[in-house]
Structures are given as structure tokens and as C-alpha cells.
Amino acid sequence: MFSRSASLFFWMGVAAIAGYWLQPNYGHLLGAFFVCLFTVIKDLWKGQKITQWLRHNSVKEPPQMDGIWGDLIDRMRRILNEQRKQTKNEEQKLQDFLLAIQASPNGVVLIDPEGRIEWCNQTAALHLGMDAKRDLMQHVVHLVRDPVFKKYFSSESHDGEVIIDGRSGSLQKTVKLSVQLHNYGENRQLLLTRDVTSIAQAEVMRRDFVANVSHEIRTPLTVMSGFIETLQSLNLNKDEQEKYLDLMSVQASRMQDLVNDLLILSQLEGSTLPSVSEPVSLQGLMSSIESEARGLSSSQLFENEAPQTIQFETPQGVQLSGANKELHSAVSNLVNNAVRYTPSGGLITSSWALLPDQRIQFSVTDTGPGIASEHLPRLTERFYRVDRSRSRESGGTGLGLAIVKHVMQRHGGELKIESELGKGSKFTLIFPASRVFLETEAA
Ligand code: ADP
């Protein structure tokens, strides 16, 4: 600043001397005036260039000036750079924030005080069947036409959530959506959507399961309480009493079987996955299952009936790693089903085979009634039975195949069911090669 004033005075002095030399009366005044005028014009020109530079906002190419203007430009450039950096940072933060909301598995919709959609993420657009760009500034109730939502949106307080039908990727598939509104800012609203289809399905399954269990337990309980009443109210002789007590014991063991199977299922759901390194002796497993099956077969044989033929083939030189109790449960369920559903004189064959890819398979084949193909996909559902009375008569709980499926899933294997009505059935368990130990390896 000082040097600029000094330079101005210097040039004014030089111009004044030169003017005086040319014109002694007023030349010195004219000289000083022209220097001032020149300085003002030069400053105006420089100011104009700086204004243009600022207007075009090209921080990278500032006009080249020296002195006080150069300092000014330098400072401005630094301030502008700083501001640019700040704005870029803020923009980046906003982008990250929006990306995070986009990545959310839940839908987010921002609604303005007039009820119009200001912004929504892709999940919300998918859930509510909207277009995240085209439908901006549309009134939300024009797009979400579910009457439950309309009522919820127009109510004063938005306590809790409502469940409405939403959409998923494909237009055919509807999903259950939990929708919740929250107030924020000045009369703005945040709409959150969450796909609760699986929760709703699990809830339906839970309710069905409880209803099924209650029904399964109530039936033998009702029968038993009828017998107890009879025993209490009638004066029965010893033989009659024994007959009733036998019938009661059948009902009690039905309840016991049901509770046992329920416990097995809950243990399967809650316990850690079976080890891949603990070999189970298939010979030991099969010999106990065989004696159980033969016992069951003779217990259901009536006088003058031809007995069932049961053939057991025990594998040699192979071990299977897994949970002994679970494997026993899976294999015995299949074998016992074959015994229970095959009429007298029928043939039940069980065998093990090592497949070429080192997997191992267990199959049980029977000459029973067979199962119609429409039932096959549902057989492993809990309490699903093809013939209810046949299942109950033979002491079935309706949980056997559900247990088998669960055990196989836990062992990384699969259950295959082949059956033809009137021709018998074949149930196969296939275990992965990673669980198979050839005895030469195990030794
Ligand atoms: P349950 O205790 O009723 O036998 P499961 O889950 O073991 O229940 O079997 C489900 C249904 O599958 C049975 O009710 C029965 O109708 C059918 N089923 C199972 N095994 C056989 C089989 N070997 N032959 C014919 N039907 C079978």
C-alpha cells in the first residue's frame, strides 16, 4: 500500500515537473491530473478484469496482476479455493449419506409439508411400486393407494406401524410391508418401509404349529379323560378295567412320542452343526435300528397274518461322520415308516451304497401303499400326513420326515422320495463325500 502511494506520488511529481517544464503556468497541475486519471482508468480496467474472473468463477486461471491487485487476487483465490474444497467435502458427505440410505434394506421416503415425495431410495420405490425419479413431487397417497395406508397417513398421530401389501422385484409377487411415519423438521415426514414377508410367514407358521401341537395333544387327552371318567363312574370288573387302562396307555405313549419328536426338532434347531470329523459306526447304528424295526414289525402283526420280510444290508469298511443321535433318528424314522405303512406280507429292504463321487447313500424301499405324486413335495412339512387315520393308527406323530429333512440339512445331505401309488416307496438319504471315511483312511 505504501509503495503504491509512494509510486503514485513519485509519478505525479515527475509529471508535474515535466508539465511545468512544458507549460510553467498550469503544466504541473495538468501533469499531476493526467497521472491521477491514468491511475484511475488503469484501476477501473483491472477491477473490471477481476469482476469478469469472479463472474466466470475460473479459480484456476486468475488474471495476472502485480502490486495490490495481485495480492487481492491471490487472497481471493485462496478464499475461493477453500470454499470450493469445503463445498466438495459437503457434497461428498451428502453423496455418501445418500448412498448409505440407498444401500439400506429398508425403504426411506422424505415427504414435504404438502405430503409430496421429495426424495426416496430405490428400496422404497421397489416396495411401493414407484419410480424414484419420475414420481418425485407426487402426493404420496396418489401413489400408495392402500386404504390402510391412506387412513394411517391422514391420522393425526402416527403411533406404531401398519402392515400393507407391497411389491417386490417382479410385479406378480406381493410382499407384506411394515410402514411407519415419523415427523421431522418443519412439518416434514419420514416414511420408512420394511419387508416383513418372512416375519409374517414365520408368524403364520408359528401359529399353525402351536394350533397343530395343541390339536395333536388334545385328541389323546380327550380320549384319556373319557376313559378316566368311565373308570370313575362305572363299576367295571377287573378285565374291563384292564382293557381301559391298556387303551389309556396307548394314548399316553402317543403323547410321549409326540413330545419326544417335538424335543428332537427343537434340539435340532438349537444345537451346533454336527462335527465332520467324528466317525459314526454304521454297523452299530444299523444293528440297533434293525432290531427296533423287527420289534415294531412283529408288534403290529395280527394272528394269521403273514409277517413282513425285512432285509437289512449293513455297509462294510465305511464310516460316516456326524451326530450319532441325529443319524439314528433320521434312518430309524425312514425304516419305521416303511414298516408301519407296509401291509403284512410286504417286503422292506434297506441298503447303503458308496456312489462313484464318494458320496454315500442309504435307501429304504417298501412294497407299501405308495404315495400320490401331489403329496410328495409336502411330506416333510410338520404334521403333514397323506392319510391321517392310517398315520395315527400306526402311532405316527406327523413329524418324522420333518426331522429327517432337518437332520439331512444339518449334515449337508439331501432326502429324496420316490413313490408310486399302489407300488411302494423308496426313501433315500445322500450324505456328502466330506463326511465319508473309508476304513483304510480311518485306520
Ligand atoms: P407320520 O408320523 O405320520 O408317519 P411322517 O412325517 O413320518 O409322519 O410321514 C409323513 C407322511 O408321509 C405320513 O403320514 C404318511 O402318509 C407318508 N409316508 C411316510 N412314509 C411312508 C411310506 N413308507 N409309505 C407310505 N406313506 C408314507
pLDDT beyond 70 at 1: no
The closest residue, in CA terms, to atom 14 on ligand 1 is 385
Looking at residue 160, its pLDDT comes to 87
pLDDT tens column, 52-72: 888 876 666 788 888 888 888
The closest residue, in CA terms, to atom 16 on ligand 1 is 386
Q: Say how many Å lie between the CA of residue 387 and the centre of ligand 1.
A: 8
Mean pLDDT of 109-119: 94
Q: If you average pLDDT over every residue of the chain, what do you get?
A: 91
Residue 442's pLDDT band (cuts 50, 70, 90): very low
Residue 268's pLDDT band (cuts 50, 70, 90): very high
pLDDT beyond 60 at 171: no
pLDDT tens column, 27-51: 989 999 999 999 899 889 988 888 8
Mean pLDDT of 307-324: 91
pLDDT beyond 50 at 443: no
Atom of ligand 1 nearest to the CA of 427: 23
Atom of ligand 1 nearest to the CA of 391: 3
- At 134 the three-state DSSP class reads coil
The DSSP secondary structure of 112-124, one letter per residue, reads -TTSBEEEE-HHH
213, 255, 401, 420: residue to mutate for ligand 1 pocket, most atoms within 8 A of CB: 401
Top mean-pLDDT range of 55-59, 96-100, 235-239, 361-365: 361-365
Phi, psi of 359 (to 5 degrees): -75, 160
Looking at residue 166, its pLDDT comes to 87
Q: Cβ distance 84 to 59 under 8 Å?
A: yes
Mean pLDDT of 13-28: 90
Domains and CATH numbers, the chain: 2-98 (no CATH), 104-195 (3.30.450.20), 199-271 (1.10.287.130), 275-442 (3.30.565.10)
Looking at residue 386, its pLDDT comes to 92
Q: Where are the beta strands (DSSP E) in 250-395?
A: 279-281, 309-312, 318-321, 347-354, 360-366
Contacts of 23 (CB under 8 A, 6+ apart): 30
Residue 107's pLDDT band (cuts 50, 70, 90): very high
Cβ < 6 Å from ligand 1: which residues?
A: 333, 337-338, 341, 366, 368-369, 371, 379, 384-387, 391, 396-402, 425
Please tell me the distance from the alpha carbon of residue 315 to that of residue 352, in angstroms, as a whole number.
6
* Alpha carbon 54 to chain centroid, angstroms: 54
The closest residue, in CA terms, to atom 21 on ligand 1 is 337
Looking at residue 311, its pLDDT comes to 96
Atom of ligand 1 nearest to the CA of 424: 24
Looking at residue 57, its pLDDT comes to 64
pLDDT tens column, 182-237: 999 989 999 999 999 999 999 999 999 999 999 999 989 999 999 999 999 998 89
The closest residue, in CA terms, to atom 20 on ligand 1 is 337
pLDDT beyond 80 at 132: yes
Q: Cβ distance 413 to 399 under 8 Å?
A: no
Q: Say how many Å lie between the CA of residue 424 and the centre of ligand 1.
A: 12
Please tell me the distance from the alpha carbon of residue 285 to that of residue 280, in angstroms, as a whole number.
8
Please tell me the distance from the alpha carbon of residue 317 to that of residue 441, in angstroms, as a whole number.
10
Phi, psi of 51 (to 5 degrees): -60, -45
B/e letters for 67-105, b = 16+ CB within 10 Å, e = fewer, are eebeeebeeeeeebeeeeeeeeeeeeeeeeeeeebeeee
Please tell me the distance from the alpha carbon of residue 67 to that of residue 1, in angstroms, as a whole number.
8
Can you state the angle between helices 197-233 and 238-270, rounded to 10 degrees? 160
B/e letters for 119-144, b = 16+ CB within 10 Å, e = fewer, are ebbebbbbbbebebeebeeeebeebb
